[in-house]
């Protein structure tokens, strides 16, 4: 059986003889003492204890960091506190040990420590050795075991509305609820491989057609009701002209669903949070890149481009400000043609330029028209551009809109 690795912590200024005694006892019993390296203290009375074996070229914080690394790689940590005193540095170390779930034992009950210490964790060095040798304590740190999943936020603009790709779950948990496509990573897969496979299996859509980027990792303890902890990394894509999905595997159905406030109350797991983050990231992409032009044809009017921004930003846009900002940004070029209108003069046509990044960015502040508090008149521009939905939901609130309403 391999040697158990142990570290000893405590106030070395007050209790170093007891530390040395414990270290020698542990070593004689066959344990490996990682810290401290027993040698003479060369700066008695100082706030930070330095030993004869410490490199004189190393700063105090470098020695402390190296010591903490040893402590956190131990199987057990033993606190020597003969009077119950726990110093400031020891308290810092204890916090890291407890956070890592490393088995922790004390020579005496600690005083004024905001941690509950069970009586069976208060042992003399001799008693601790006896427990280790008889196997009556767990002397290997417990590790959090989690399963890894990938979720996908796939957004598009259809019928001048922002829509998201969702599946209806065919199995528990949340059977019959809407959810983002995704699933568990298999052995031998990368996280990306798992995401692309799940997208194909659940919706029939080929991930190679989409410009995915990693959105965020979600590790909340209660984000999934199943017994084992599940951590998910979400990927985001926003793209035009995406196909109609076809459900398979554990999805009962798959479809494009409009992103509107009531949708967030109908999603399984923590997918409402993931979708909100994805929508916000998509809005940021429209501010800083030329992705909005991808949703228009080879040539388009500025009104058509504006409608893409309104769909993703979730609020109407001032047309004159939009025109000025777009032409100043330089990401569209005049196509040298016009398109006749049924009720008005022909509109000038534009095409996407060579730029990929907008400089200056198309900031939503100053472009969006804040929606009225109590809806809009039917047939108004605000209703046509999602204004009636923008007022009362955080995903649809325009940046700075609250300030403009006061």
Show pLDDT as tens, one digit a residue, over the chain (406 residues). Answer: 468 999 999 888 788 899 999 999 999 999 999 998 888 888 776 777 788 878 888 888 888 888 889 999 999 999 998 887 787 778 888 888 887 888 899 998 887 676 678 888 899 999 999 988 887 765 444 556 789 999 999 999 999 999 999 999 999 999 999 999 999 999 899 999 999 999 999 999 999 989 999 999 999 988 999 878 899 999 999 999 999 999 877 788 999 999 999 999 999 999 999 999 999 999 999 999 999 999 999 999 999 999 999 999 999 999 999 999 998 888 899 999 998 766 778 889 999 988 889 888 888 888 898 766 544 433 333 333 333 344 444 555 544 444 333 2
- The domain made up of 146-277 has a fold known as Nucleoside Triphosphate Pyrophosphohydrolase (3.90.79)
183 strand-pairing partners? 150
Question: Widest CA span of the chain, in angstroms?
Answer: 96
Between helix 125-134 and helix 12-28 the angle, nearest 10°, is 30
Strand 76-80 relative to strand 104-106: parallel, antiparallel, unpaired? parallel
Give residue 52's pLDDT. 81
- The domain made up of 5-134 has a fold known as Rossmann fold (3.40.50)
Identify the sign of the CA torsion 122, 123, 128, 134.
negative
Report how far residue 140's alpha carbon sits from residue 256's, in angstroms, rounded to the nearest whole number. Answer: 49
How many residues make up the chain in this entry?
Answer: 406
Report how far residue 368's alpha carbon sits from residue 399's, in angstroms, rounded to the nearest whole number. Answer: 9
Give residue 14's pLDDT. 82
Query: Which residue ranges does the chain devote to CATH 1.10.10.10?
Result: 289-405
Chain centroid, CA 99 distance in Å: 19
Contact assessment for residue 377 and residue 383, using Cβ atoms and an 8 Å cutoff:
yes
- What are the C-alpha distances in Å from 294 to residues 160, 220, 240, 241? 14, 35, 7, 9
Query: Which residue ranges does the chain devote to CATH 3.40.50?
Result: 5-134
Contact assessment for residue 157 and residue 308, using Cβ atoms and an 8 Å cutoff:
yes
Q: What is the DSSP letter of 291?
A: G
291, 178, 278, 290: which is closest to 235 by C-alpha?
278
Within 163-270, residue ranges assigned H as helices are 191-203
**φ, ψ for residue 84, nearest 5 deg:** 85, 0
Cβ neighbourhood burial of 276 (10 Å; 0-12, 13-18, 19+): middle
Cβ neighbourhood burial of 179 (10 Å; 0-12, 13-18, 19+): buried
Give residue 406's pLDDT. 29
Contact assessment for residue 310 and residue 393, using Cβ atoms and an 8 Å cutoff:
no
Query: Which residue ranges does the chain devote to CATH 3.90.79.10?
Result: 146-277
Contact assessment for residue 350 and residue 293, using Cβ atoms and an 8 Å cutoff:
no
> Is pTM beyond 0.95 here?
no
240, 238, 232, 311: which is closest to 281 by C-alpha?
238
Contact assessment for residue 167 and residue 179, using Cβ atoms and an 8 Å cutoff:
yes
Tell me which long-range contacts 222-231 makes (C-beta under 8 A, separation of at least 24): 223/269, 223/270, 224/173, 224/269, 224/270, 225/173, 226/173, 228/145, 228/146, 228/147, 229/144, 229/145, 229/146, 229/147, 230/146, 230/147, 230/148, 230/149, 231/146, 231/147, 231/148, 231/149
Q: Which CATH class is domain 289-405?
A: mainly alpha
**φ, ψ for residue 50, nearest 5 deg:** -120, 140
Between helix 319-329 and helix 302-313 the angle, nearest 10°, is 100
């Amino acid at each position: 059986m391999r040697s158990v690795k142990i570290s000893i912590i405590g106030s070395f200024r007050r209790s170093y003889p007891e530390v040395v005694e414990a270290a020698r006892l542990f070593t004689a019993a066959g344990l490996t003492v990682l810290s401290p390296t027993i040698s003479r203290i060369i700066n008695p009375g100082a706030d930070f204890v330095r030993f004869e074996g410490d490199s004189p070229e190393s700063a105090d914080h470098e020695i402390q960091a190296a010591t903490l690394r040893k402590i956190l790689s131990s199987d057990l940590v033993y606190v020597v506190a003969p009077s119950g005193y726990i110093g400031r540095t020891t308290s810092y170390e204890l916090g890291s040990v407890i956070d890592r779930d490393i088995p922790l034992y004390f020579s005496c009950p600690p005083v004024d420590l905001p941690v509950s210490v069970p009586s069976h964790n208060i042992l003399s060095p001799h008693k601790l050795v006896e427990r280790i040798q008889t196997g009556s304590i767990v002397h290997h740190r417990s590790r959090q075991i989690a399963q890894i999943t990938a979720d996908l936020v796939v957004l598009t603009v259809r019928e001048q509305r922002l829509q998201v790709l969702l599946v209806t779950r065919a199995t528990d948990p949340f059977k019959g609820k809407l959810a983002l496509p995704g699933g568990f990573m298999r052995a031998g897969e990368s996280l990306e491989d798992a995401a692309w496979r799940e997208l194909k299996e659940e919706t029939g859509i080929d991930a190679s057609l989409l410009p995915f980027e990693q959105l965020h990792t979600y590790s909340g303890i209660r984000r999934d009701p199943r017994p084992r902890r599940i951590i998910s990394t979400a990927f985001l894509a926003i793209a035009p002209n995406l196909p109609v999905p076809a459900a398979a595997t554990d999805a009962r159905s798959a479809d494009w669903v409009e992103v509107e406030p009531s949708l967030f109350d109908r999603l399984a797991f923590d997918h409402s949070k993931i979708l909100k983050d994805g929508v916000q990231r998509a809005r940021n992409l429209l501010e800083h890149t030329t992705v909005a032009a991808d949703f228009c044809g080879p040539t388009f009017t500025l009104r058509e481009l504006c409608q893409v921004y309104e769909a993703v930003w979730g609020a109407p846009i001032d047309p004159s400000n939009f025109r000025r900002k777009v032409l100043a940004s330089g990401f569209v070029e005049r196509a040298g043609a016009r398109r006749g209108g049924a009720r008005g003069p022909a509109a000038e046509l534009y095409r996407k330029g060579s730029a990929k990044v907008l400089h200056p960015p198309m900031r939503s502040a100053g472009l969006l028209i804040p929606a009225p508090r109590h809806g809009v008149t039917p047939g108004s521009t605000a209703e046509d551009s999602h204004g009636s939905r923008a007022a009362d939901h955080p995903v649809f609130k325009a940046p700075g809109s609250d300030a403009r309403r006061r």
